[in-house]
Structure 1
Amino acid sequence: MTPPRPGRGTNSVNLRQYNERTLLQRLRRAGEASKADLARWAQLTNTAVGSIVQSLEEAGLIETFGRRQDGQRGQPASLYRLNPKGAFGVGVRLDRTSIETVLVDLSGKMLARRAHDLLLPHPNKALELVQRDVASVLDVLGPGERQRLAGVGLAQPYNLGSWLRELDLEADFRVWDEIDFGALLAQAVQLPVFKENDGNAAGIAELFFGAGRASSDFLYLFIGPAIGGAVVVDGEGMRGRTGNAADVAMIPVPPSRLPSAPVTGKPWDILLTRASLNALTRHLRFHGEHIAGRNELQACYERGMPAVREWLDDCVDALVPAVRAAIAVLDVPMCVIDADIDGGLIEELMARLDHGLRSIAPESRGTPQLRRGSFGADAGALGAASLPMFFNFSPRADVLRGHGSRSAEMVHV
């Protein structure tokens, strides 16, 4: 991006950087635009936009690809778009039962991927594995392209050692709550690392590469082994004091009525126990099904098994009041829903959730638009890879204040 110029005040430099990122965002949303388009959208003068476009083009972040006749007279206007090779990001997603590492370009296209389905090992062993995978995905970049690497994003659930009963895991992950894996990774790969919980990271991917192209305000839900969430308001991800904003898994709900559900002995349980693929896996195993991974889960759904319908009833019954409560607090117009499996599950879940939300809508309050997520099973890894992109190229309010990112924690080498 544009470096500070001698004699210019900090506020002027921050404003210039913010305007550069605003134009990048406009191009990301529109796909293509002329200088006149950008000036109109950003409410900047043609001269200011011309200077910014020139600097972005020189930095390799945007490119010309044709011309358009804007009016009846004069030369056809040059059209600009993002240069996919203008920047690259590595994403590392850690979960209790998997590790993924991906490489994406500035358009969000996944260029390389490494994945391991395994119980999360000790941090030292995980670090060795991730370090090899980062080196492997970077092999697809040429020397010049490596200079455009924005950093490494790390997405993982917070409190990895907790809620193992609800997740039916017999393991001890407490050591993960005692170490800073992001700092270890930054030292190992000698690159800046941006850390975020996996729900927020997936939500940032939607903001940067998916639903955020059309809306700057939404609640994001991802149904995986657990259920994760994120809140985007005014184009920024909300983190909260501890980084656990939109931790929808902890929303209190009545205990499940399924015979497979763990007995709590309490009048309330948490949403994680009911609205998660782990709950579906547990219920299918209760009925004698062998479930070894996502493929088996999806196959059971596609076969229309009665046990799947029973779980879906229980899942939606818990989701409807939880989502209605979240919308009442956040006042956002859209809820984006994604999942680790599909085969028709997401569409049915959205239809049933929409019906449930409408059936309990209070007077003078509408029902949020439900939108399907953009990335499915890749949402977590792509979310991790979006963190360095978002930090470096998003027009966040912190840029104007000259502060670091509040949408992710950055670890310097």
Structure 2
Amino acid sequence: MPPVHLNPQDDEKRLLWRLRTHGAQPRSDLARALGLSNSALTKLTRNLLALNLIEEVEPDEPQGRGRPTVPLRISPGGGYAVGVTVHTGVLEIALVDYAGGTIALTSEKIDPPEPHDFARMVDRRIHELAVEHRLLGTRLLGVGLSAPGPALSRDGNRWSIVANLPGWRGAPLRDILTQTLHQPVWIENDATAAALAEYYLGGLIDHCSTAIIITLGYGIGAGIIHDGRLLRGEVGSAGEIGMFYPGDAPRPSPVDLLATLAQAGCPLTSIADFETQTRGFEPVIEQWLDRAAQQLKLAVNSALAWFDPGAIRLTSPLPRAVVQQLADRLNDGLLIWGDHRADCEVATFAVDVSKLRGASSVLGAALLPIHASTAMG
């Protein structure tokens, strides 16, 4: 299927963003919020309805005489997008519809692929999933990749990918994927992609304007989102807190935990088998969590001081129970919340754990094409 580029005009993007962040709304409320006349709004909505990017919501109950108020909302039928990421021995692929609903979320064991093999593998799996979910002929908005490492170029084509993936570091990843997939491709650091998923799908959009998402994946990184905008930095490396932890030393990452378990005699080779193969090694995990919490203390306290976030959340492909134990340790007296929090309108919160079951990075990757079509700025 040929690529489809969505390029909404500014007023269309403002309308789409309003619906995406505030939910279904009547036309009159939209016109008032956007500062548009009723006729201008009618013209905007007519075009977006024709593109199936928005849809009318039928009222649940009769509203008496006259024409009922019919709210508008983002339409799931506006298309779908694909997200891909690679963890230790695992390939994850997600499909989401235009409204952000999850169509498919798959995970499979793989040997670490080189970039061209990876692109061919992803191309095959996208076609298989499109057939399985009856998406052939549906608008495909693009493909997002969450990359385990910081960017090396302003255009986001080359990345400092972890050494576990052979041939990836410095390779023109966007070029390779675009030439194989024949689709628009977005690439973001895995922590930044996770922040997008937690904002849209993890509930943060409803209760805070600034959030920090700390991702424990191949390494450790942070995604920062403020007023619906991803804070990327000069070349896309904002939140690269892995710099605090040299790669040749123990660090608070799942790869380090796997290495720690291996030294203790645990046969675990993939995060996918964590719960079954770590039985009997609970004391090793506990010791690692104690050390990881102490290591994370500086990074989290720095985030509190620099950004005054409304939420700090941990996400990881590790089992949620393990990540929750890490959050509990951070909240147990390690963090400096600041006395001003006690006197301000925003109550002190606790570091919490993602409820997206370790899928934040891949879901965020899938949301990248959708976010690009609606986010302002």
TM, length-normalised to structure 2: 0.82
Q: Distance in 2 between matches of 1:234 and 1:20?
A: 18
Tell which deviates more after alignment, 332-341 or 292-301: 292-301
How far does residue 247 in structure 1 lie from its aligned partner after superposition? 1.0
Q: Distance in 1 between matches of 2:199 and 2:34?
A: 19
Q: Distance in 2 between matches of 1:79 and 1:114?
A: 34
| Residue of 43, 48, 71 corresponding to 1:79 | 71
Contact 1:70-1:77 at 8 Å conserved across structures: no
Contact 1:68-1:79 at 8 Å conserved across structures: no
**5+ residue gaps in structure 1?**
4-13, 254-261, 398-413
Contact 1:302-1:343 at 8 Å conserved across structures: no
In the TM superposition, what whole-angstrom CA distance separates every residue of 1:90-115 from its partner, at most 9, and x where no partner exists?
Answer: 12224464333332211333323554
CA distance 1:331–1:346, shift in 2 (3 Å): same
| Residue of 107, 118, 131 corresponding to 1:126 | 118
| Residue of 296, 299, 323 corresponding to 1:346 | 323
Q: Distance in 2 between matches of 1:103 and 1:61?
A: 17
SS of 2:124's equivalent in the other structure is helix
CA distance 1:327–1:361, shift in 2 (3 Å): closer
| Residue of 226, 238, 243 corresponding to 1:250 | 243
| Residue of 319, 340, 347 corresponding to 1:364 | 340
Report 1:47-196 matches (<5 A).
47-67=39-59, 74-95=66-87, 97-139=89-131, 140-145=133-138, 148-158=139-149, 164=163, 173=166, 175-196=167-188
SS of 1:356's equivalent in the other structure is coil
Contact 1:107-1:209 at 8 Å conserved across structures: no
In the TM superposition, what whole-angstrom CA distance separates every residue of 1:157-183 from its partner, at most 9, and x where no partner exists?
Answer: 23677765xxxx6xx73x322321211
SS of 1:177's equivalent in the other structure is coil
| Residue of 346, 370, 373 corresponding to 1:389 | 370
CA distance 1:348–1:158, shift in 2 (3 Å): closer
Contact 1:238-1:245 at 8 Å conserved across structures: yes
Contact 1:219-1:334 at 8 Å conserved across structures: yes
Q: Distance in 2 between matches of 1:216 and 1:301?
A: 39
SS of 1:240's equivalent in the other structure is coil
In the TM superposition, what whole-angstrom CA distance separates every residue of 1:201-245 from its partner, at most 9, and x where no partner exists?
Answer: 222222333334223311111223422321112211111122110
Q: How many residues align?
A: 357
Contact 2:148-2:162 at 8 Å conserved across structures: no
Report 1:3-82 matches (<5 A).
17-67=9-59, 74-82=66-74
SS of 1:213's equivalent in the other structure is helix
CA distance 1:66–1:321, shift in 2 (3 Å): same
Q: Distance in 2 between matches of 1:32 and 1:116?
A: 36
CA distance 1:328–1:198, shift in 2 (3 Å): same
Task: Give the aligned partner of residue 216 of structure 1.
Answer: 209
Contact 2:57-2:72 at 8 Å conserved across structures: yes
Amino acid at match of 1:58: A
How far does residue 143 in structure 1 lie from its aligned partner after superposition? 4.7
Q: Distance in 2 between matches of 1:242 and 1:138?
A: 34
Task: Give the aligned partner of residue 6 of structure 1.
Answer: none
CA distance 1:343–1:325, shift in 2 (3 Å): closer
Q: Distance in 2 between matches of 1:223 and 1:290?
A: 21
Q: Distance in 2 between matches of 1:52 and 1:183?
A: 35
Amino acid at match of 1:386: L
Contact 1:36-1:46 at 8 Å conserved across structures: yes
SS of 1:229's equivalent in the other structure is strand
How far does residue 45 in structure 1 lie from its aligned partner after superposition? 4.2
Q: Distance in 1 between matches of 2:297 and 2:282?
A: 23
How far does residue 251 in structure 1 lie from its aligned partner after superposition? 2.3
Amino acid at match of 2:234: R
Q: Distance in 2 between matches of 1:320 and 1:296?
A: 29
Q: Distance in 2 between matches of 1:251 and 1:101?
A: 30
Q: Distance in 2 between matches of 1:120 and 1:232?
A: 30
**5+ residue gaps in structure 2?**
151-158, 343-347
Task: Give the aligned partner of residue 309 of structure 1.
Answer: 286
SS of 1:155's equivalent in the other structure is strand
CA distance 1:122–1:225, shift in 2 (3 Å): closer
Amino acid at match of 1:364: H
Amino acid at match of 1:158: G
Amino acid at match of 2:76: P
TM, length-normalised to structure 1: 0.75
Q: Tell me, yes or no, if structure 1 residue 235 matches structure 2 residue 228.
A: yes
Amino acid at match of 1:289: C
How far does residue 351 in structure 1 lie from its aligned partner after superposition? 2.9
SS of 1:309's equivalent in the other structure is helix
Q: Distance in 2 between matches of 1:143 and 1:162?
A: 33
SS of 1:332's equivalent in the other structure is coil
CA distance 1:86–1:213, shift in 2 (3 Å): same
Contact 2:116-2:176 at 8 Å conserved across structures: no
Contact 2:216-2:254 at 8 Å conserved across structures: yes
In the TM superposition, what whole-angstrom CA distance separates every residue of 1:4-49 from its partner, at most 9, and x where no partner exists?
Answer: xxxxxxxxxx9x8333233323333444222233334445444443
